[in-house]
């Protein structure tokens, strides 16, 4: 599952590919945003850990990634 996180005052979004369901990700994001000191902690498919403070999250997009998309479409 691909997760895109927009962080306030950052020009680029954070894109993480995780092995969690959309419901699990949504639950973790909701918990982090409901607490003033909450954080979103995700581990990607390569084992790297990403920690984002909930207070700095601008948006979260949860969806499947487009794998193997190369070239032009007409």
Radius of gyration from C-alpha coordinates of the chain: 13
Structure tokens at 19: 């092995």
Mark the ranges of the chain whose per-residue pLDDT is less than 50: none
pLDDT value of position 68: 59
Model pTM score:
0.79
Q: In Å, what is the CA distance from 17 to each residue of 37, 47, 58, 72, 74? A: 24, 10, 19, 24, 28
Question: pLDDT tens digit string along 8-29?
Answer: 999 999 999 999 999 999 999 9
> What confidence score (pLDDT) does residue 36 get?
82
Q: What is the pLDDT of residue 73?
A: 60
Looking at residue 49, its pLDDT comes to 96
């Amino acid at each position: 599952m691909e997760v895109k996180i927009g962080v306030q005052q950052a020009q680029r979004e954070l894109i993480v590919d995780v092995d969690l369901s959309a419901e699990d990700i949504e639950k973790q994001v909701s918990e982090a945003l409901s607490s003033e000191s909450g954080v979103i902690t995700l581990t990607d498919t390569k084992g790297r850990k990403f920690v984002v403070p909930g207070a700095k999250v601008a948006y979260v997009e949860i969806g499947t990634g487009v794998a193997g998309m190369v070239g032009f479409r007409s």
